[in-house]
Structures are given as C-alpha cells and as structure tokens.
Amino acid sequence: GQSLEQPSEVTAVEGAIVQINCTYQTSGFYGLSWYQQHDGGAPTFLSYNALDGLEETGRFSSFLSRSDSYGYLLLQELQMKDSASYFCAVSEMDSSYKLIFGSGTRLLVRP
Amino acid sequence: EAQVTQNPRYLITVTGKKLTVTCSQNMNHEYMSWYRQDPGLGLRQIYYSMNVEVTDKGDVPEGYKVSRKEKRNFPLILESPSPNQTSLYFCASSTWGQETQYFGPGTRLLVL
C-alpha cells in the first residue's frame, strides 16, 4: 500500500536550521514534492525532486534518496513567518497518476 | 493573474441536498484535482483529471462525482452529502508533470 511518514511537530528557534524528514512507501514513484500551508491558507508549492540529490531554493532545500525511499526539507535561517505546516507528497505514475500527501509536520518557530 | 478559484468558500447544508463546488483555473493546465483536508489526515485526493473528458479516482472518491467538460473547469459534485463529508476542500491544477500544484483558496463545507 501507499504510505508517507513525517513527524507531526517540530519546534525550532529563530535563525536556526531545521530538517523535516519524509519516508515513503509507494508504487510507481515519480517524484517527491514539498508544500507549505499557513493556518487558514491553501498549500503552496516549495520544491520538487525527481532525481537523487539536493535542490536548493533560497533558504529552503530539499533532498531525495530514491534507493532509501527518503527525502527531507531543510529550512535555514528560520524566521517567525516559517511557522506553518509542511507536507511531503509523492507523485505516482503507474496505472494511475495520483498525488499522495503525508499528514504534515507542524513547525513552530520560537523567538 | 494566474490563479485557481473555488466557489463557494463556505457552505452549510443538510444531509441529502445535492451541491456543487466549482473550480476554475486560468493557466491552461492539463491536470486538475480535488482534495479534502481533515485534521491529522493531511490532504487526501478525491478525484483527478489529466485532461478534458479524462477523470480518475483518487484515494477517497466515495460519495463524490466530477466532470471535466472544459479544460479550465473541474466541478466537484456531492449528490447526497452526508455529515462525514464535512471537511475543507481544495482544488488544484498543474501542468502534466505535476511538479507544481497550484491550489485554490479552499471551500469549507459543513453538512448537518
């Protein structure tokens, strides 16, 4: 079956670095993406990995290891506005073309 | 402005009364999808469409219908809503690669 696991909550201090892990079990893996969602808002796209390695976009980086079925989102120089929920999502492409989301990690950034 | 719009944003209804939530995108995206979001369960895909007249079930399709008669529109239909369909619903669209999903603002539905 399909499953994604990520921590439910993470707390960090402003200015620090935090890593949110995501492990997945799925068929027809195509890629791993990350979304940010503030309370009351819609998810917004952060990054996408189809190949192994690190993708960097400003303060955010995302990593994928296909052989380990594992990825992470790295947030550097944390700011208060980074307090939000972060979702990993797996794109499947076998007989279907689904997008499966994890249950989300709530990040709280403290001053 | 590139966007995905949903209407209505908030809806209170009663069990069994058919309703439609509209979704429209102006980015000429092929792929459109509906999700529901419930506390602790993340986003779960209800239905998706890879192009006009092509729709397929996601993980939680029971009790929902969709149609894709035009590329820009992807309405979600609840023929006979039940209280367990009370949820926050998001429509999203993307190009074929699915790498970047653009989400609508969400529709909060309460079924009494």
Mark yes or no for CB contact B101/A50 under 8 Å. no
Which residue in the set B35, B42, B59 is minimally distant from A104, CB to CB? B42
Q: What is the DSSP letter of A81?
A: G
What is the pLDDT at residue B97? 63
Mark yes or no for CB contact A98/B41 under 8 Å. no
* Residues 21-60, chain B, touching A (beta carbon < 8 A): 31, 33, 35, 40-45, 48, 50, 56, 58-59
CA B13 to CA A32: how far, in whole Å?
37
3 state DSSP class of A97: coil
Reference A85, options A102, A63, A64; nearest CA is A102
All residues of chain B having their beta carbon less than 8 Å from the beta carbon of residue A31 are 98-99
Disruptive mutation site among A46, A62, A88, A97 for chain B (greatest number of B CBs within 10 Å): A97
- Closest chain A residue by Cα to residue B31: A97
Disruptive mutation site among A22, A29, A92, A99 for chain B (greatest number of B CBs within 10 Å): A99
- Closest chain A residue by Cα to residue B106: A42
- Note the pLDDT tens digit of each residue in A19-62: 999 999 987 788 999 999 999 999 999 999 999 999 998 999 99
Is B100 in CB contact (< 8 Å) with chain A? yes
CA distance to A54, A63, B55, B89, B91, per residue, from A32 (Å): 12, 9, 23, 22, 20
What is the pLDDT at residue A83? 98
What is the pLDDT at residue A92? 78
Torsions phi, psi of A80, nearest 5?
A: -60, -35
What is the pLDDT at residue B98? 63
According to the 3-state scheme, what is the secondary structure of chain B?
CCCEEEECCEEEECCCCCEEEEEEECCCCCEEEEEEEECCCEEEEEEEEEECCEEEECCCCCCCEECCCCCCECCEEECCCCHHHCEEEEEEEECCCCCCCEECCCEEEEEC
All residues of chain B having their beta carbon less than 8 Å from the beta carbon of residue A101 are 35, 42-45
For residues B32 and B23, the answer to whether their CB atoms sit within 8 Å is: yes
What is the pLDDT at residue A30? 84
What is the pLDDT at residue A18? 97
pLDDT tens-digit profile, chain B (112 residues):
889 999 999 999 999 999 999 999 999 999 999 999 998 888 999 999 989 999 999 989 999 999 999 999 999 999 999 999 999 999 999 987 667 899 999 999 999 9
Q: How many Cβ atoms are within 10 Å of A76's Cβ, its own excluded?
A: 15
What is the pLDDT at residue A1? 62
- Note the pLDDT tens digit of each residue in A89-98: 998 776 667 7
Interacting residues of A81 by C-beta distance below 8 A, sequence separation 6+: none
Amino acid at B105: P
